[in-house]
Amino acid sequence: MSDVPPPIRVVLPDGQEAMGRLHARQQTANGWRYWTGIPAWQNVDEDGTVGPGEYRVWLSPEQAFPVDGVSYDDVVTRRLPPSEPPRATWAFAVQRVTNGRGRVTGTIVHEYECEDSPRGPSELDAMQALDALAQPGARACKKCDAAKVLEPVSGRTVPDDDEHA
């Protein structure tokens, strides 16, 4: 790694271009920023003696440009941590099974988008679906993913020959 930061082209506020040095780069939620040093004169003592100095500022990609043929591989680079992929969320619904005379004889837990799901205003999350599945006479639908998702967690399985579940 070189002790001298690599050159970078800088556009000044009045439109002029100057050569600066790239000390670091940082990724932000809004894009990249470049910690750039621009050479300038500065007072070096109380007598008014002037010597070389450097003005450092964070610049945007519109204000700082790479120089052709220059490698920036050794520049300190801070990237944002990788974002976590969205977690799948499951929604479920409970279908009440009746005996034909209106008496509830059991329940079937469906994935909310299942064609047999009784869609309504109340979706259940996975924990609520597991609670519903733990009730006597409850089973998970085998037509949708409810059985695949819930049965391994609940420890309950229903034989594949069940006519609806």
- Residue where one domain finishes, among candidates 44, 78, 112: 78
Query: Is 73 in the same domain as 122?
Result: no
Three-class secondary structure of residue 149 per DSSP: helix
Integer-rounded Cα Rg, in Å, for the chain is 33
Residue-range definition of the domain harbouring residue 121: 92-154
The span from the CA of 111 to the CA of 128, in Å, is: 12
Would residue 83 count as lying in a domain? Answer: no
Segment 103-147, tens digit of pLDDT: 888 889 988 888 888 877 677 888 888 888 888 888 888 888 788
Query: Is 69 in the same domain as 104?
Result: no
Query: Is 73 in the same domain as 96?
Result: no
Query: Is 111 in the same domain as 73?
Result: no
Query: Is 37 in the same domain as 69?
Result: yes
The span from the CA of 3 to the CA of 12, in Å, is: 25
Average pLDDT over the chain, rounded to whole?
85
Query: Is 12 in the same domain as 74?
Result: yes
Which residues of the chain carry a pLDDT beneath 70? 1-2, 84-89, 121, 154-165
- The total number of structural domains in the chain stands at 2
Asked whether the whole model's pTM tops 0.75, one would answer no
Phi-psi category of residue 34: left, alpha or beta, with phi > 0 → left and psi -120 to 50 → alpha: beta
Would residue 1 count as lying in a domain? Answer: no
Q: How far is CA 74 from CA 18, 22, 62, 65, 153, in A?
A: 22, 10, 22, 17, 49
Query: Is 27 in the same domain as 58?
Result: yes
Strands 17-28 and 7-11: antiparallel
